[in-house]
């Protein structure tokens, strides 16, 4: 028998469902889907993420840089600044003091997954729409940036939705409410500290929303004042220079690479991509065609693309059903032109960023494909408020139409992540056979592609897990992102030079320098030791082999 309070709660839930309480339906489905979407994070030892091992090893190096006697102490130093990529690194650093970095990362991603549907539901409610379509945001949490290891960008997505919803709420409020303005300020700062590209889009959206006709001037002023603190933080960061590794120490403005440099770099890169009239038509059309690829890109069997198309179809159905119902009850289902603009501007600007930004800049890495997911999560604002007026039987059908794809994709994600974990069994065997306390380097040949994941060369950066999994104050790898924009790490001016190595082209490595500096060499699909290490092969001995993975150890001097 259920306790009296639980039984009473169950009876109320059943009555709510029977009476078609849309919010109760949402919360029941949310509570069901959330654990299913958290499960994939815990069915594999190594999570997908091309750059993920690099982020974790960076925080490991920053933590050890404070310990005298460690290699990291002689090489690196911590650097704290209000940068546009700071939040994820700071959370990982703080959580890493009480748990492993792998678990810390999982906890951060758990919060991101839980928050995304909630912020999408808030956006819908602020606009007066039904909240159950936001259950379709669960699959969007496992998006292309997350699979590529662009973790800061992925974590900024729910904050972007919450920020846009809060801007609309402040603008539509009859009178200014201090807590709403304060929340907008907090969301703006959090979004800026999460990722500067997402913040840039959010800032443009906010300014466009503030300019929509029909808004009260006090609401516009309140929105501007709420955004101002995050703008000040952005100005402080960019005024010192964003991109050069020594920018934080630069005293000459001429060496600064800030916002204006970024705008010019974007313009020149996009102009080069659209070098002919034919490209002006072909390139945007190609990007629209690839939208469903870039949205959730993750798996070789293209199951992610199937889910992308399902999402687009269901959102279209919800839009037209809402419009149809609205035309019967209210001829203008979107309300005034001002209301229509508030709904249309966020997803439209997200789509324009996807179509208009360049593909790649050295300092920014991949750019435009990331904005597919931003356009998708902002498209919930297009769901008409008249969707709440559908008959109860249709409410149930539309609710099921939103829940079933999310439920099935959750099960598929668990299966795919488990398969990826099994694929890395050989790597785990080799890694566990590598003693802690040394300097390790990875030499991944053959492109490093996964048989399960389609999002980049997932195997290339796996050797960077060495200091994370083989924990010791002296376990280390070379830190790729030290000195990058927003990084907590800076290389000391008097540090010894670490042999440079392009992880995507290990054949270009200066083997003599690599062998002289490192102790362990984790290889994948590598040629025989005699060819790989040439005359230095006699100084090494194989320590463990599993599948295509082999780890070599440098012999101790006699």
- What is the per-residue pLDDT for 329? 60
Residue 251's pLDDT band (boundaries 50, 70, 90)?
very low
Domain ranges for the chain, please list them. 81-390, 425-554
Instruction: Please give the pLDDT value at position 557.
Output: 52
Q: Which residues contact 208 (CB under 8 A, 6 or more apart)?
A: 345, 349
pLDDT of the residue at 250:
36
Mean pLDDT of the chain: 88
Can you tell me the distance from the alpha carbon of 298 to that of 148, in angstroms, rounded to the nearest whole number? 8
> Binning pLDDT at 50, 70 and 90, where does residue 300 land?
very high
Mean pLDDT to the nearest integer, 235-255? 54
- Backbone angles phi and psi of 349, in degrees to 5: -65, -35
Tokens of residue 213, six digits: 């006709």
CA distances from 266 to 9, 349, 373 (A): 55, 16, 20
Instruction: Name every residue whose Cβ is closer than 8 Å to that of residue 33 and which is 6 or more positions away in sequence.
Output: 117, 135, 138, 403, 406, 407, 410
* Per-residue model confidence as pLDDT tens digits over 328-353: 665 544 467 788 899 999 999 999 99
pLDDT band with cut points at 50, 70 and 90 for residue 252:
very low
Residues composing the chain: 558
Sorting pLDDT into bands at 50, 70 and 90, what band is 116?
very high
Residue 558 has pLDDT above 50, yes or no: no
Which has the closest alpha carbon to 85: 151, 160, 164? Answer: 151
Do 468 and 62 form a contact (C-beta atoms < 8 A)?
A: no
Query: What is the rounded CA–CA span in Å between residue 278 and residue 124?
Result: 39
443 token code pair: 């030499």
* 22: alpha, beta or left? (left if phi > 0; alpha if psi -120 to 50): alpha
What was the pLDDT predicted at 12?
55
The answer to whether 461 and 223 are in contact (CB under 8 A) is: no
Q: Does 555 or 43 have the greater pLDDT score?
A: 43
Q: What's the Cα-to-Cα distance from 277 to each of 226, 286, 359, rounded to whole Å?
A: 43, 15, 18
Q: What is the mean pLDDT of residues 464-473?
A: 95
DSSP bridge pairs for 365? 361
The residue whose two tokens read 């290389």 is: 491
Q: What is the pLDDT of residue 427?
A: 97
- 386-420 pLDDT, tens digit per residue, is 888 888 788 888 999 999 999 999 999 999 999 99
How does strand 520-524 pair with strand 440-444? parallel
Q: So what's the pLDDT on residue 468?
A: 96
Query: Which pLDDT value is given to residue 280?
Result: 83
Residue 443's pLDDT band, with cuts at 50, 70 and 90, is: very high
Say if residue 248's pLDDT is above 60: no
Which of 61-65, 228-232, 362-366 has the lowest average pLDDT?
362-366
SS3 472: coil
Give the phi and the psi of residue 346 in degrees, each rounded to 5: -60, -55
Specify whether the CB–CB gap between 402 and 135 falls below 8 A. Answer: yes
Alpha carbons 322 and 2: distance in angstroms, whole number: 40
CA distance 151 to 105: 9
What contacts 24+ positions apart, CB below 8 Å, involve 89-97? 89/55, 89/58, 89/59, 89/152, 89/486, 89/487, 89/488, 90/193, 90/488, 92/55, 92/56, 92/59, 93/59, 93/62, 93/63, 93/488, 96/59, 96/60, 96/63, 97/63
Task: Give the Cα separation of 195 and 160 in Å (integer).
Answer: 10
1-55 pLDDT, tens digit per residue, is 445 555 664 555 455 555 557 788 899 999 999 999 999 999 999 999 999 999 9
Residue 459 has pLDDT above 80, yes or no: yes
Residues 18 and 257: their CA atoms lie apart, in Å, by 60
Distance CA(30)–CA(69), nearest Å, equals: 49
Beta strands in 239-352 (DSSP E): none
Q: Are 383 and 136 in contact (CB under 8 A)?
A: no
């Amino acid at each position: 028998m259920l306790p009296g309070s639980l039984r009473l709660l169950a009876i109320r839930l059943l009555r709510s469902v029977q009476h078609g309480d849309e919010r109760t339906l949402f919360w029941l489905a949310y509570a069901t889907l959330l654990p299913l979407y958290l499960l994939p994070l815990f069915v594999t030892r190594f999570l997908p993420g091309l750059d993920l091992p690099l982020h974790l090893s960076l925080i490991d190096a920053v933590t050890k840089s404070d310990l005298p006697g460690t290699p990291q102490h002689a090489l690196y130093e911590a650097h704290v600044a209000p940068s546009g990529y700071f939040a994820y690194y700071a959370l990982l650093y703080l959580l890493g003091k009480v748990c492993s970095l792998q678990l810390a990362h999982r906890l951060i991603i758990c919060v991101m997954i839980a928050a995304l549907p909630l912020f999408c539901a808030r956006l819908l409610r602020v606009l007066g729409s039904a909240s159950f379509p936001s259950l379709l945001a669960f699959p969007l949490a496992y998006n292309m940036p997350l699979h590529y290891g662009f973790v800061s960008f992925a974590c900024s997505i729910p904050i972007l939705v919450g920020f846009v919803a809060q801007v609309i709420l402040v603008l539509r409020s009859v009178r200014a409410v201090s807590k709403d303005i304060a929340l907008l300020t907090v969301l703006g700062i959090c979004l800026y500290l999460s990722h500067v590209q997402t913040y840039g889009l959010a800032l443009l959206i906010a300014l466009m929303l503030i300019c929509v006709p029909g808004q009260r001037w006090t609401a516009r002023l309140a929105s501007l004042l709420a955004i101002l603190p995050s703008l000040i933080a952005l100005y402080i960061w960019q005024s010192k220079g964003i991109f050069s590794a020594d920018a934080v120490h630069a005293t000459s403005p001429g060496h600064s690479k800030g916002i204006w440099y970024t705008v010019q770099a974007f313009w020149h890169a996009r102009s080069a991509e659209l070098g002919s009239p034919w490209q002006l038509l072909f390139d945007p059309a190609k990007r629209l065609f690839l939208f469903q690829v870039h949205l959730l890109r993750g798996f070789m069997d293209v199951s992610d693309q199937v889910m992308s198309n399902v999402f687009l179809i269901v959102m279209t159905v919800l839009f037209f059903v809402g419009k149809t119902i609205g035309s019967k009850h209210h001829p203008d289902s979107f309300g005034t032109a001002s209301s229509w603009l508030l709904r249309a501007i966020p997803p439209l600007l997200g789509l324009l960023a996807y179509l208009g930004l360049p593909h790649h800049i050295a300092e920014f890495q991949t750019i435009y494909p990331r904005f597919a997911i931003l356009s998708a999560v902002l498209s919930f604002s297009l769901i008409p408020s008249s969707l709440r007026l559908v008959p109860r039987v249709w409410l149930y059908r539309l609710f099921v139409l939103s829940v079933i794809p999310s439920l099935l994709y959750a099960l598929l994600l668990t299966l795919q992540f488990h398969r990826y974990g099994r694929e890395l069994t050989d790597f785990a065997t080799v890694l566990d056979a590598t003693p802690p306390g040394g300097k390790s380097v990875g030499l991944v040949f053959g492109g490093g592609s996964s048989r399960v994941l389609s999002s980049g060369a997932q195997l290339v950066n796996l050797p960077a897990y060495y200091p994370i999994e083989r924990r010791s104050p002296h376990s280390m790898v070379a830190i790729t992102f030290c000195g990058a924009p927003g990084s907590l790490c800076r290389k000391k001016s008097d540090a010894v030079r670490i042999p440079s190595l392009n992880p995507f082209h290990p054949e270009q490595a200066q083997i003599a320098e690599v062998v002289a500096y490192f102790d362990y060499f984790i290889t994948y699909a590598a040629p025989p030791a005699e060819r790989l290490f040439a005359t230095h092969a006699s100084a090494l001995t194989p320590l463990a082999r599993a599948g295509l993975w082999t780890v070599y150890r440098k012999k101790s001097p006699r």
